[in-house]
Copies of this chain bind each other. A is one copy, B any other.
Amino acid sequence: MEKAAVLTVEKLTELLGREFSEAFHPDGGLSILQVRYGGARVRQEYQKNATRPGGTLSGPVIMQLADVTAYVAILASIGWVPLAVTTSLNINFLKKPPPRALIGEGRLIKLGKRLAVAEIDIRSEAEPDLVAHATSTYSIPPW
């Protein structure tokens, strides 16, 4: 039988909004859509205000969505371990996205005691084509 997520979308949203308010603040446009053991789906709202960093669908916004999606997938799988840190991220940009929300779909391809590795697909909402594909690694402190 497959394992279940150990934290719900609601609980993760609350904890991340409190502890990582720089990324998960109300104006940031990030929302967790779904979690499972080993995976997560996160949405980045389109923001047309180009005068703020993160206000457009530029590379850094896509990289942030990839990192956040993987991080949520890890927390959903091992519980609230906020000291897990990103140790590396590799991303290929495949297609210029239209002005629309982005969806990050992440799955853990390794979940060890000290190290997690995630793979993340980034697409425009309701579009089949990949906008970007990332892999990222995380160091997990003893827990």
- Interface positions of A (Cβ within 8 A of B): 21-23, 25, 27-28, 50-56, 58-61, 63-64, 67, 85-96, 109-110, 114-115, 117, 119, 130, 133, 135, 137, 139
Contact = CB atoms under 8 A, between A and B. Distances in A.
19 contacts: A22-B50, A22-B52, A23-B53, A25-B50, A25-B53, A27-B51, A52-B53, A52-B54, A59-B89, A60-B60, A63-B64, A86-B93, A87-B93, A87-B137, A92-B109, A92-B110, A92-B117, A94-B109, A114-B114
Q: Assembly of this chain: how many copies?
A: 4
A32 B93 CA distance: 25
B59 A86 contact: yes
A133 to B, nearest CB: 5
A111 to B, nearest CB: 10
Contact of A60 (B64, B87, B95): B64
B135 A133 contact: yes
Contact of A53 (B53, B88, B90): B53
A92 B96 CA distance: 23
A102 B112 CA distance: 22
B93 A119 contact: no
Given A53-B53, A67-B60, A90 B93 contact: no
Which among A56, A87, A109, A117 has the greatest number of chain B C-beta atoms within 10 A? A87
